[in-house]
Chain A
Amino acid sequence: MKEEFLKKWQMGLQIYRPLIDNTSVSERRKAIKLSADVAMASLRKGTTCWSRALIQKTATEDNFLVRQMLSGIKAETLINKKLPKVMCHRKIVRRSKKILRRRQSRSAIEEVAAKARKLVKKKTQGLRNVVPGGEFMSNDVLLIQETLDYIVSLQTQVNVMRSIVDAAEAGSERTAYYLGKLKFAIEDG
């Protein structure tokens, strides 16, 4: 997975190659990050919700890059794919819960359990905010599955990027050594 990510990321950066010398640092930084994100998301080939959402989000920031990085047809379907309409209808849930609550008398144990549930719900919402496309995952099982996959992908992204920047910062004399390590690390997988 590391090798694939690196290849795709490099491909994305190639697109910026002719521009790299004439752009500002912040534009360059954006290019680096966006290509890394698209590279990471494209590894999933549209099979996960988070990767589709991330591609769509990146497309709003740089449509050209996304189209170039993904093969033609796939790019169209992934960018234009309608995100699911089923969202958590919180108002309805809140209202129905309020009605239910009025009808129930609560024991101390029920109170504790209710508080715990509320806390879990709050934390789950927090998770939705950090996972791309999370706001469209009303199914908690899906949210957890997507989260796990997203974390694994993020780790790959970070590991490869870190190897590259460490190697680049190490300077020319030591670079050969780091390149060897990098190659080894990637092949080791």
Chain B
Amino acid sequence: MSNRRSRQSSSATRISDDQIIDLVSKLRQFLPEIRERRRSDKVSASKVLQETCNYIRKLHREVDNISDRLSLLLDSVDEDSQEAAVIRNLLM
């Protein structure tokens, strides 16, 4: 049991080429900048991983930004205005 685990952890840091190809094809739809590279798959693997990280961070920032805007909206809107009613209906 412990043998298997130690073997697993030493290979856990590698990603196989098949998995990279799979990931690239799936990420293509999100990241049009990734082009097929004729060089080693490992070089493009790190690029794919980097782009993925960047993309996720970008999405996080967007969520934060939208949350900011929404919280300000709820604040700035008059209690009885039509806008307040609309926002309330949308969100609540």
- Chain A residues, CB < 8 A from B46: 116, 119-120, 122-123
Given known A-B contacts A33-B67, A124-B49, A10 and B12 have beta carbons under 8 A apart: no
A138 CB within 8 Å of chain B: yes
Question: What 1/0 mask marks residues of chain A from 94 to 125 whose CB sits below 8 Å from any chain B CB?
Answer: 00110000000000000001001101111110
A-B pair number, CB within 8 angstroms: 156
A141 CB within 8 Å of chain B: yes
Given known A-B contacts A32-B71, A151-B59, A154-B56, A116 and B43 have beta carbons under 8 A apart: yes
**Stretch of A41-49, A59-67, A70-78, A142-150 contacting B (4+ beta carbons < 8 Å):** A142-150
A68 CB within 8 Å of chain B: no
Q: Determine if A164 and B26 form an interchain contact, defined as CB atoms under 8 angstroms apart.
A: no
Residue of B19, B40, B50, B56 with most chain A CB atoms under a 10 A cut-off:
B56
Q: Determine if B63 and A120 form an interchain contact, defined as CB atoms under 8 angstroms apart.
A: no
B1 CB within 8 Å of chain A: no
Residues 134 to 188 of chain A near chain B (Cβ within 8 Å): 138-141, 144, 147-148, 150-151, 154-155, 157-158, 161-162, 164-165, 167-169, 171-172, 175, 179
A140, B48: Cα distance in complex, Å? 14
- Chain B residues, CB < 8 A from A144: 15, 19, 22-23
A41, B59: Cα distance in complex, Å? 15
- What is the size, in residues, of chain B's interface with A at 8 Å between Cβ atoms? 51
Chain B binding surface SS class? helix
Give the interface size class of chain A: 35 or more
Q: Determine if B82 and A172 form an interchain contact, defined as CB atoms under 8 angstroms apart.
A: yes
Q: Determine if B56 and A131 form an interchain contact, defined as CB atoms under 8 angstroms apart.
A: yes
Residue in contact with B13 in the complex, picked from A13, A86, A140, A150, CB distance below 8 Å: A140
B81 CB within 8 Å of chain A: yes
A113, B17: Cα distance in complex, Å? 13
By a beta-carbon cutoff of 8 Å, the part of chain B in contact with chain A is 5-6, 8-10, 12-15, 19, 22-23, 26-27, 30, 40, 42-43, 45-46, 49-50, 52-53, 55-57, 59-60, 62-64, 66-75, 79, 81-83, 86-87, 90-92
Q: Which 7 A-B pairs have the closest CB atoms?
A: A123-B49, A29-B71, A116-B42, A28-B71, A172-B82, A33-B67, A119-B46
- New contact pairs (5) apart from A121-B13, A151-B52, A155-B59, CB-CB < 8 Å: A120-B42, A129-B53, A144-B19, A150-B56, A175-B86
